[in-house]
Amino acid sequence: MKYVLVTGGVVSGLGKGVTASSIGVVLKACGLRVTSIKIDPYLNTDAGTMSPFEHGEVFVLDDGGEVDLDLGNYERFLDIKLTRDNNITTGKIYQYVLDKERRGDYLGKTVQVVPHITDAIQEWIERVAVIPVDGKEGPADVCVIELGGTIGATIYSRNNDNGILDAGDIESMPFIEALGQFSYHVGPGNFCLVHVSLVPVLNVVGEQKTKPTQHSVRGLRGLGLTPNILVCRSAKVLDENVKEKLLQFCHVPAANIITLNDVTNIWHIPLLLRDQKAHEAILKILNLQGVARQPKLEEWTDRAKLCDALHDPVRIAMVGKYTGLSDSYLSVWKALLHATVACHKKLVVDWVPSTDLEDDTAKEAPDAYKAAWNLLKGADGILVPGGFGDRGVQGKILAAKYARENNVPYLGICLGMQIAVIEFARSVMNLRDANSAEFDPDTRTPCVVFMPEGSKTHMGGTMRLGSRRTYFQVTDCKAAKLYGNVSYVDERHRHRYEVNPDMVPEFESAGLAFVGKDETGKRMEIIELPAHPYFVGVQFHPEFKSRPGQPSALFLGLIAASCGQLDALLQNPSHLSKPIPGRISSNGVFLPKVYQNGHQKGHTHMPAKSLVNGNYYSNANGVHV
């Protein structure tokens, strides 16, 4: 097994995740099998109980693991399925060691950070690295490891212009020590360290400054790790004299100094690595030159160029409570992007705080209220993502009502489906006190109830999590057609509450169709309004399995409905039955691979005609795909 370790220095948020993912893409394009591990030094066992405002979205895996959003990057870039053990946290490691201590595995020895914690980290990496994640038998060829946090940041003060070196986040220290030992354990030719650092440009002088990177590399060396490759984040391509200075002071060969400058869309990053021959440097260090081929990235090149060329916008109103941080809905945003590129459109996301749609805001902040409603009414489609708690729920209900009454395409995910059910009960069935037991435990009309297998005393890992099977109840529904007329789909879940099965007959009599249910037939998974152009709610999270070139079927349906292409898509379901790689056809239309049921099963041909007008807006320059 070969290992590539990606670390970051100077500041957080440089894009270690996209760098690690892009390295994996290039190595995979060279014919190698790649797996990934993310190390998060926080003490939490997993990301499941962390606030989206603080840490971004919680990404859910097939096995129910609630993990860091960077694992979503890996899955989307590499088209792999990771496990919960691919996300290592301090909490998991300490729990693992303490469990061994309680069993007596250490035979009375004093349990210490070194060697017991550091040994446990190395054992965990070696164990997980050989788990197949690409659907094939046997271990991968290369494991890309991302170490969260920063190493060797420089802290400046009023009395110290030169700065003082900070070794990095305190909680990272056991991992850094373990990885230093690990590099010697696996030996030369099996370990490559890629350090991502910042080369800022000061506006006053317009010069690229290398001192922060020099300090970062010095700190890394002081901790026992020597970088083989330096990846420099900068607004523009590094000047040659800047590379010379980094070569001189960081002791990294010029060929191994890579620039990751700002790009028009994130799919250019693997291409930047390829163009600067980063793969050759990695393959040389890992002694893989005779095994790997030249990288084949034609599909990535086509997709990056297509994304740059798109200019006809489709506007989606994202109505949620965490809209202040777009990373809170990262997978939803990326799934929308995948679908809009497939439909040959430019994605415009209008972030609508659900609280701003409520009557209280009209009184307290009328300008915010008016702005929110203007965004909602100006949207081509409306999406209400998942969430927890009662803050902003009324605003989400109002958004669902507006979509239902005005024939605006609507997709509700998890809580977004539940509030659509509540709104239908209140407005169509005249059940004015209809509510969820989550928001009002004493409601007399509980449309949404707590699942009996859930825990009310422990929060972490107690929800209905991971991949579950949904069976279509009817074939003549939009969701079934979008999935390719299959009898069932496997999608990922994360919820504690569900639609009250006792009320389902009432809802169906009133016109709400439950077109997808679980294997028991008692748990509602997909709702539709048959007479509506596109009003779909799902209990699962289809965004977690969307891929570039393989858009989620339901997101593709939302975007197609929002730009007038849904009828053409649904009238040609045979297009979904034959898998082809995503590419640009001779007439300039993008032909995507449609993601269905965990497999690449087909494609759709989208007409290039534009039916949407609006202001230009680009979402292309984020750090995650």
Residue 590: strand pairing partners? 584
Active-site annotation, residues: 414, 541, 543
CA Rg, the chain, in Å? 25
- Write out the two tokens for 224: 């026992």
Of 274, 360, 273, 348, the residue nearest 313 (C-alpha): 348
Q: Which two tokens stand for residue 527?
A: 């709702």
Cα–Cα dist 516/472, whole Å? 4
Written as six digits, the tokens of 209 are: 């400054």
Q: Within 13 Å, how many C-alpha atoms sit on residue 390's CB side?
A: 7
Write phi, then psi, for 288 (nearest 5 degrees). Answer: -115, 15
Number of residues that this document lists for the chain: 625
Q: For tokens 């422990």, what's the residue?
A: 458
Cis, peptide link before residue 115, omega less than 30° from 0: yes
Q: Report DSSP letters for 119-143, one per residue.
A: HHHHHHHHHHHTS--SSSSS--SEE
Strand ranges of the sheet holding 497-499, from the earlier edge strand across to the other edge: 434-436, 445-450, 497-499
CA gap 82, 34 in Å, rounded:
11
Taking a C-beta distance cutoff of 8 angstroms, is the pair 31, 219 a contact?
no
Q: Is 553 helix (H, G, I), strand (E, B) or coil?
A: helix
**Which residue(s) pair with 356 in the sheet?**
none
Residue with tokens 């430019």: 346
Are 37 and 177 in contact by the 8 Å Cβ rule? The answer is: no
